[in-house]
Amino acid sequence: MFFILSKILSFLLTPIVWIVALLLFSWITKNEKRKKRSFMWGMILLLVFSNRFILDEAVRAWEIKAIPQGSLHSYDAAVVPGGLSSWDPTLQRIQFNRAGDRLFQAIELYKKGIVRKIVFTGGSGSLQHQQYKEGDYVQRYLRDIGLPDSAIVIERNSRNTYENAVMTKKLLDSLMPNGNYLLVTSGMHLRRAKACFDKAGLKTMAYSTDNYSGPRKFQLDHLLLPDAETLQNWNFLLHELSGYVVYKMKGYL
């Protein structure tokens, strides 16, 4: 039930849903005062949530900052949470999204000898396609690019960050207890992920990837021009903020 409710909450917190609802209401209502007010708020939200500078500042306050590779030592494994890819059943291949950077960074750390293994944790996060487990096709991908089975550990049943932490803790306790682990995930996701793994009792060093915020920009277009991609990126931030609050209430953090 919690899994289903979390999907519904993510939908309701999508800014474009609020904007469309307000604009639609302004179109169908007969009350002139409500029509003008809902249209005004719809346009205000559109301008705010499509502004790149506002998003950058909000993300910068939330994201865990990245650290250089040179500051790392050696680790038994890089733990990589799922949510970075999907499976295309027609083409029979993996499709990476932006969060795929967390896996690519872990592969680089392995190739450089900084980590000895890559631990991937993730099953199906879909309500409709439970048969496509992310751990299965990530394992296939890692094999295809030449990583040996001895360097790959897969947890394929977790559906969210909380389950990632709990199931990975159980798996690693059986394989390499008291190991030295690097938690490799997106900067926006890292705060919630690290708190979950700490709560589960798996001590990790945080390694931030796929950061959305960068150097502050004061260019005119960045400050003023609406941007469609920014609307989508707000979804990720609001998902993490609401997820952190809900997880805290549930005792997952």
Q: Where are the domains of the chain?
A: 2-63+224-250, 69-209
Q: 219 in helix, strand or coil? A: coil
Question: From residue 38, how far is each of 18, 25, 166, 174 by CA, in Å?
Answer: 11, 7, 44, 57
**Alpha-carbon gap, residue 22 to 227, rounded angstroms:** 20
What pLDDT was estimated at residue 218?
Answer: 87
What pLDDT was estimated at residue 220?
Answer: 84
**Alpha-carbon gap, residue 250 to 162, rounded angstroms:** 10
**Alpha-carbon gap, residue 64 to 184, rounded angstroms:** 11
Dihedrals phi, psi of 205, to nearest 5 degrees: -100, 130
Residues 170-180, mean pLDDT to the nearest whole number:
93
Q: 122 in helix, strand or coil? A: coil
Give me the percent of the chain exceeding a pLDDT of 70.
Answer: 94
Q: 34 in helix, strand or coil? A: helix
Q: Residue 207: which pLDDT band, with cuts at 50, 70 and 90?
A: very high
Dihedrals phi, psi of 74, to nearest 5 degrees: -115, 145
Conformation bin of residue 59: beta by default, left when phi > 0, alpha when psi is -120 to 50: alpha
Cα dihedral 144/145/151/157 (nearest 10): -50
What pLDDT was estimated at residue 23?
Answer: 95
Q: Is the pLDDT of residue 217 over 90?
A: no
Q: Residue 33: which pLDDT band, with cuts at 50, 70 and 90?
A: very high
Q: Is 120:84 a contact under the CB 8 Å cutoff?
A: no
- Which residues have CB under 8 Å from 172's CB, separation 6+? 77, 119, 153, 179, 181, 202
What pLDDT was estimated at residue 214?
Answer: 79
- For 69-209, which CATH superfamily applies? HUPs (3.40.50.620)
For 98-147, how does the pLDDT look when each residue is reduced to its tens digit (9 = 90+)? 999 999 999 999 999 999 999 999 998 655 566 779 999 999 999 999 99
pTM summary value: 0.86
Q: Is 231:16 a contact under the CB 8 Å cutoff?
A: yes
Q: Is the pLDDT of residue 9 over 70?
A: no
What pLDDT was estimated at residue 84?
Answer: 95
Q: Is the pLDDT of residue 8 over 90?
A: no
Q: Is the dihedral of CA 202, 158, 208, 56 positive or negative?
A: negative
- Which residues have CB under 8 Å from 33's CB, separation 6+? none
What pLDDT was estimated at residue 72?
Answer: 95
**Alpha-carbon gap, residue 220 to 55, rounded angstroms:** 15
Give me the percent of the chain exceeding a pLDDT of 90.
Answer: 76
And the tokens for 163?
């389950």
Q: Is 78:115 a contact under the CB 8 Å cutoff?
A: yes
What pLDDT was estimated at residue 162?
Answer: 95
Whole-number average pLDDT of the chain: 91
What pLDDT was estimated at residue 213?
Answer: 83
What pLDDT was estimated at residue 158?
Answer: 94
- Amino acid letter at 32? E
What pLDDT was estimated at residue 221?
Answer: 84
Q: Residue 42: which pLDDT band, with cuts at 50, 70 and 90?
A: very high
In the block, tokens 């979390």 appear at 6
Q: Which residue has the higher pLDDT, 187 or 1?
A: 187
